A and B are shown apart, each in its own frame.
Chain A
Amino acid sequence: MATVTKTWKLFIGGAFPRTESGRTIKAVAGGTVHHLCKASRKDLRDAVEAARAAQPKWASSTAYLRGQILYRLAEMLEARRGEFIEAIRATSRVTPRKAKAEVEASIEHVVSFAGWTDKIAIVLGSQNPVAGPFYTFTGIEATGVVGVLAPDESPLLGALALACPALAAGNAVVLAASERHPIPALVLSEALATSDVPGGVCNILTGEHAELVPAMATHRDIDAIVAAARGKHAAALKAGAAENMKRVTIVDPVSDFTEPRWRSPVAFRGVTEAKTIWMPSMA
């Protein structure tokens, strides 16, 4: 009997559509040729639309609820542990031990950010002792829709390290998977679909970064970009971002994402806004 091979698709608005372009890219993993979707500009626009629609409700749900939902995502990753290890091992040809370590670090990363949701404001917010009869407080809000460009090294952990701070803070994410090793991110899309993360809050595209980068950079409804990029991609993102003042965070694609800084408050810099409220203190 012939085995049934999986059709890999995009993940947009909680659903799994094929690319509207009809184009595919080949990816070889574990001796099997996979035909993945080569997302187009239009797919990116659809993903941004889904993200924009989902973001306000995600941001206004309580931090505690977002924390529990991200913890649920970690539970779903744990349930697919074997599948992730296999996907990482098969596509990026690392040792099984290294693949296992990456998956474990990834699960721990999501749990850590499940614990961040209700502490971002505690750690980054402030009461401001202004020199006048006012109470002023600075709260922390999500920036909005965040485009994430995942690195090829550590294709799962890298994607999560860049996406989790945005998600924890209440942003919606459009994630461009690692170009060379996209399958782990596609397994992630299946974990997301079975978690309680609302549809549209995290969207995942596969395709050529050379195509997706300029589209992402100039899209006027993306508010921030966190990208593992170098050279001309990094420059293109910054130049395109200037059009609508996107906040751009450029990350070295070859980073050790297990370092503590990836789980520290620094991670929220490019994906949060400080809002200060003034109120007279005298009746």
Chain B
Amino acid sequence: MQPAQAIDWSYAPAPETFPVELSPEHGLFIGGKFVDPRSRKHFDTVDPATEKKLSRVAEAGKADVDAAVKAAQKAFKGWSRLRPAERAGYLFRIARRIQERARELAVLESMDNGKPIKETRDVDVPLVAQHFFHHAGWCDKLAHAVPGVEPRPIGVCAQVIPWNFPLLMAAWKIAPALACGNTVVLKPAETTPLTALRLAEILQEVDLPPGVVNIVTGAGETGRLLVEHPNVQKVAFTGSTDVGKRIARACAGTDKRLTLELGGKSPNIIFADAPMDQAIEGIVNGIWFNQGQVCCAGSRLLVEESVVDEVIGRLTHRMRSLRVGNPLDKNTDVGAINSRAQLERVNSFIECGVREGADRIVCFDGALPDTGYWVAPTLFRGVQPAHTIAREEIFGPVLTVLTFRTPDEAIARANDTNYGLSAGVWTSRASKAYEVAAGVKAGVVWLNTFNQFDATSPFGGFKESGFGREGGRAGLAAYLA
């Protein structure tokens, strides 16, 4: 073999240049129209890769949330009584318009969120279109989804979504709610409101009846006003377990229906007999996809002891080829962390890991950009199950590696958490894969793959990862009385 030569692996810049028009100010979407907030308050949303302001967005106060809920109440009667095939028609058209405006939505999402264009273009936005298409098809088939009872909508749904998959979470919330005949008030995250507001434009384009979907932007207080609003019949929240618990307490004592999709500390279990090349890719995809800002991220790597050196050796080699930088560059693998607050949170976990005695491995040779919020892909080995970084959700590109010796021990370690959102199992033996899958307390288990999502496939967690499912038949239950 030839001795390895120094090869320059750097790529020429390949920026996505699709033009996206961005107005300097965004109102609230209430009753089918964009309106100025009665609160007269606004806040800025920035590009996390450059820290530059993208736009000024309305901050909905009490009167605004009232108006949005009122609009949704008013629209409910007509929407819930519409012939199912006609409801389907609107949802199909929404799916089509999303496909037609896909590139624009992908670019805008990358700008507002910081995630690579590769992901928004190939994952987020296609899944958004699929979610609307799939649920469009359910409108006239609800009787077959829940046999034995007449399918009836619940009413006005308050939906509060996070910043990690802004448009995808909007689709996961809105599409099933509408398919089942409900109306919606959606609150996007304060750092990523722009694509939801662009979706509002699409809703106008397809002539969705006014008030069927209302979008109020704002931070935690707006969300609180919305979920605590007395005229809301259903609350759906995706976000942290802390906030989820607060919402559950706030809804206690009311008749509101509740679904929660919360945090995770998901195990990714690698057996010695795993198909190793695929497993390494699966580990990378599991934790560095979307900068690890994924509730179901495979953030706890459990490796069979006999192969831990091989796995870490291959993994660190693979990590070196990850490209960190401009989210709008088509070659970028790892983009920016969504906000300064999140950056500080991730960094504090990294410091904590070092302080508690784990070995930090950073395999990133380049320089991180000067402006923006960045964390180099990081892994920790020598992690003990009691370490903070092995127990708490970091929500960043930080992987902790633990080991096990037997399938039973793998299951025990996998379940040694308050969370139960997802799990990965890598082995060439199907029976072992299924046995471990059955033993793991998680709502989604991926065998020899990771981070797969589909509108037909229910997603959601066990234990403190929340309750209720999104997608497929199980997901409809959350929106039917």
Contact with A along B68-87 (1 / 0, CB 8 A): 00000000000000000100
Among B130-138, B211-219, B293-301, which stretch is in contact with chain A?
A: B130-138
Q: Which residues of A contact B210 (CB under 8 A)?
A: none
- Residue B431 lies at the interface, judged by CB distance under 8 Å to chain A: yes
Residue in B closest to A118 when the chains form the complex, CB atoms? B456
Q: Which residues of B contact A283 (CB under 8 A)?
A: 407, 429, 431-432, 435-436
Q: Are B144 and A281 in contact (CB under 8 A)?
A: no
| A242-283 residues at the B interface, CB under 8 angstroms | 263-265, 279-283
Q: Which residues of B contact A279 (CB under 8 A)?
A: 430-431, 434
Contact with A along B82-99 (1 / 0, CB 8 A): 000100110010000000
- Residue A68 lies at the interface, judged by CB distance under 8 Å to chain B: yes
With the chains together, A111 CA to B430 CA distance in Å?
39
Q: Are B141 and A115 in contact (CB under 8 A)?
A: yes
- Residue A84 lies at the interface, judged by CB distance under 8 Å to chain B: no
Q: Are A281 and B137 in contact (CB under 8 A)?
A: no
- Residue A81 lies at the interface, judged by CB distance under 8 Å to chain B: no
Q: Which residues of B contact A123 (CB under 8 A)?
A: 141, 144-145, 473
Q: Are B431 and A280 in contact (CB under 8 A)?
A: yes
| B377-423 residues at the A interface, CB under 8 angstroms | 407
With the chains together, A144 CA to B323 CA distance in Å?
46
- Residue A135 lies at the interface, judged by CB distance under 8 Å to chain B: yes
- Residue A146 lies at the interface, judged by CB distance under 8 Å to chain B: no
Min CB distance, B405 to chain A, in Å? 14
Q: Are B431 and A122 in contact (CB under 8 A)?
A: no
- Residue A116 lies at the interface, judged by CB distance under 8 Å to chain B: yes
Q: Which residues of A contact B136 (CB under 8 A)?
A: 115
- Residue A182 lies at the interface, judged by CB distance under 8 Å to chain B: no
Q: Are A67 and B133 in contact (CB under 8 A)?
A: yes
- Residue B140 lies at the interface, judged by CB distance under 8 Å to chain A: yes
Q: Are A64 and B141 in contact (CB under 8 A)?
A: no
| A74-123 residues at the B interface, CB under 8 angstroms | 108, 111-112, 114-119, 122-123
With the chains together, A247 CA to B434 CA distance in Å?
35
The interface centre, meaning the residue of A64, A281, A283 with most chain B CB atoms within 10 A of its CB, is A283
With the chains together, A263 CA to B472 CA distance in Å?
19
Residue in A closest to B126 when the chains form the complex, CB atoms? A64
- Residue B438 lies at the interface, judged by CB distance under 8 Å to chain A: yes
Q: Which residues of A contact B438 (CB under 8 A)?
A: 281
Q: Are A118 and B137 in contact (CB under 8 A)?
A: yes
Q: Are A119 and B137 in contact (CB under 8 A)?
A: yes
With the chains together, A118 CA to B137 CA distance in Å?
9
Q: Which residues of B contact A111 (CB under 8 A)?
A: 85, 88-89, 92
Residue in B closest to A124 when the chains form the complex, CB atoms? B144
Residue in A closest to B407 when the chains form the complex, CB atoms? A283
Instruction: Knowing A111-B89, A115-B136, A283-B407 are in contact, say whether A64-B130 is a contact too (CB < 8 A).
Output: yes
- Residue A11 lies at the interface, judged by CB distance under 8 Å to chain B: no
With the chains together, A122 CA to B140 CA distance in Å?
15
With the chains together, A116 CA to B134 CA distance in Å?
9
Q: Are A112 and B134 in contact (CB under 8 A)?
A: no
Min CB distance, A53 to chain B, in Å? 28
- Residue A71 lies at the interface, judged by CB distance under 8 Å to chain B: yes
Instruction: Knowing A111-B88, A122-B472, A122-B473 are in contact, say whether A64-B133 is a contact too (CB < 8 A).
Output: yes
| A142-160 residues at the B interface, CB under 8 angstroms | none
With the chains together, A279 CA to B429 CA distance in Å?
11
Q: Are A263 and B133 in contact (CB under 8 A)?
A: no
Q: Which residues of A contact B89 (CB under 8 A)?
A: 111
A-B contact pairs, 8 of them (CB 8 A): A64-B133, A64-B456, A112-B85, A112-B140, A115-B140, A115-B141, A119-B144, A283-B431
14 additional A-B pairs beyond A63-B456, A64-B455, A135-B434, beta carbons within 8 Å, are A64-B133, A67-B133, A112-B88, A112-B140, A114-B92, A115-B139, A115-B141, A119-B456, A122-B456, A265-B144, A279-B431, A280-B434, A281-B431, A283-B435
In the complex, the 9 A-B pairs of residues with the closest C-beta atoms, listed nearest first: A115-B137, A283-B432, A280-B431, A283-B435, A123-B144, A122-B473, A118-B456, A281-B434, A108-B85
Measured CB to CB, the residues of A under 8 A from B are 63-64, 67-68, 71, 108, 111-112, 114-119, 122-123, 135, 263-265, 279-283
